Amino acid sequence: MALGTTRWGRTVWIAAIAAFVARFPGLLWPLRPDEAGFLLVARSLHPEPDSLYGRYWVDRPPPVIWLVQATDWVGGAYTHRLVGALACALLVLASAAATRETALRAGVVDPVAVRRLAGWVAVGTAALVSNAQIDPVAAKGEVLGIPLVLASCWLSLRAVRRLAAADAFWAGCLAVLAVGFKQSILGGIVFGAVLLLGSAAARHLPGRTAGRFALAAVAGGAVPVAVVVAWTLASGSRLQTLWYTSVSFRSDASRVIASQNSEGAQSRIGVLVVVFVGVGMLLLLVCFLVRVPSLVRHDAVPVVAILAMVTVDLLGVAFSGSFWLPYLFVLVPPLSLALAALVAHDHLGLSRHRVSPAVVAVVATSSVLSLVAWTAAWAVGRVPVEVRTGEAIAAAARPGDRVLVYGGRADIQWASRAESPYPYLWSLPMRTLDPDLEELRRVLTGSNPPTWFVEATHITAWSELGTRPIERSLISKYEFVRTACGRYRIYHLNSVDPIDVDVDCSTPYRTIWGS
């Protein structure tokens, strides 16, 4: 089943290596908020009946926390970024494998031509996943999950061609495992289901064979689910807790997002659209949609599967409510498959105009330029204010001090090297699970309040929350220390001793070693 068993051309391997190397910004920048939060959750992992992870709460399935915990144990806090770079390389190899299946299905029989087409798609996929306009630094659920999605699509295509139930089993397993890294990564499930149903409806597969494949795929998908369920029960947590954390919370959070004003989310919509265009994703999608009628006439089933996949993934981004740029990574697998269909279509001469070389050139050029621009900005000098704020608190703190960061900046919490008495390191869980901030007020006014309070987001940013008692608590129990680099207000418990922090707002960050 290994991707390496197929003899790829040199272009595919170069593209895979390029995708790996293009994650070099991960060596030049500190942990991003989600990464820091996942690491804090992983390091304090202690499941309880009503808390899947213990001290801190995060709305992610266990597999992503397990991976962060394992990489941290093996090589430290940044090792998961090496895994992220490897994931990008594997994504490129999976794109070449899927292209081979697409080309064979389309009727391309010349092995040299198949390798050439796989090379085109590998370059395009590497360019999409390496574009620094999205996020060249952080290795989170999207980057870690999308190779599983595309590998699942490849196996689904191969299962139909080879009539191999084992391929269907592994396709189901990888598709569901991808959801364990980010719940919205549903593309592998959608593609496989539509491909199987379409193949049965078009009589490309006998009904009995299609049923056997469906059972195999379901059995494969049940494996990661069974592992997560077994771990949950063995760890002492409850299945209801697992279900709410991984699934049900999203509906509650969506209602909160819809009901609250968020200028940040609204401003991110425009940025997301601009990047979607600038990366070349819109161009690739439009070219594919223009060709859909001709592609459907040639072989409708995989085209419909790609359409269903890209539709679900686009809707996932559109209805996320948060509109963070890394969500665009989820679109790479369906767009890679769309590019595979285009290059096969062009090779067979089924259209008067060959568009795939131009599309690949555009996305590759955009990727190179974006990496150059990112590197130039880093070379001039960029200061990670969040990390410098946490480091300044760590330097001024005493043993046993605790830090509470309000508003969801886990990177400040991480850099402070102090634990938080408040379970919500992200703002969305806080706004959803502590809507009146009663739990936060109890923490601040209790017998053992945090020593430091950092206002990463202004207290009144979400005016509908119970912020007035929090403001009164700050006034009565805390003294304002300073505003870090004009951004983050730092408070300390009232003390007879003078308290100050020296935040370095001028020294650029250079590498993850010794910065």
Length of the chain counted residue by residue: 515
How much is the pLDDT for 7?
Answer: 63
Question: Bridge partners of 454?
Answer: 405, 490
| Residue 228, Cβ density class (10 Å: 0-12 exposed, 13-18 middle, ≥19 buried) | buried
Q: Which of 469, 456, 466, 447 is nearest to 403 (CA)?
A: 456
Q: How many helices (H) and strands (E) does the chain have?
A: 21, 4
Distance CA 150, CA 171 (A): 9
User: What SS3 class is residue 493?
Assistant: strand
The residues, ordered by sequence, that sit 6+ positions from 30 with a Cβ below 8 Å of its Cβ are 384, 387, 411, 415, 509, 512, 515
Q: Torsion over CA of 138, 141, 143 and 144, rounded to 10 degrees? A: 120
Per-run averaged pLDDT (10 residues), the chain, 515 residues? 58 97 97 98 96 96 98 97 98 97 93 94 98 97 97 98 96 98 96 97 91 97 98 97 96 87 78 96 97 93 97 92 92 98 90 87 98 96 96 95 94 97 95 93 92 92 79 88 96 88 95 82
Residue 372: φ, ψ to 5°: -65, -45
The pair of three-digit structure tokens given for residue 92, joined into one six-digit string = 């490129």
Quote the pLDDT of residue 261. Answer: 67
Enter the DSSP assignment of 403: E
CA-closest candidate to residue 261, choices 460, 34, 472: 460
Q: For residue 22, how many C-alpha atoms fall within 13 Å in the half-sphere facing its CB?
A: 30
Residue 318: partners with Cβ closer than 8 Å, 6 or more residues away = none
Per DSSP, the residues of 419-488 read: --SSSB-SHHHHHHHSTT-HHHHHHHHSSS--SEEEESS-TTSSTTSSHHHHHHHHHHHEEEEEEETTTE
For residues 336 and 100, the answer to whether their CB atoms sit within 8 Å is no
Tell me what pLDDT residue 5 has.
42
**pTM, full prediction:** 0.95
**pLDDT for 1:** 42
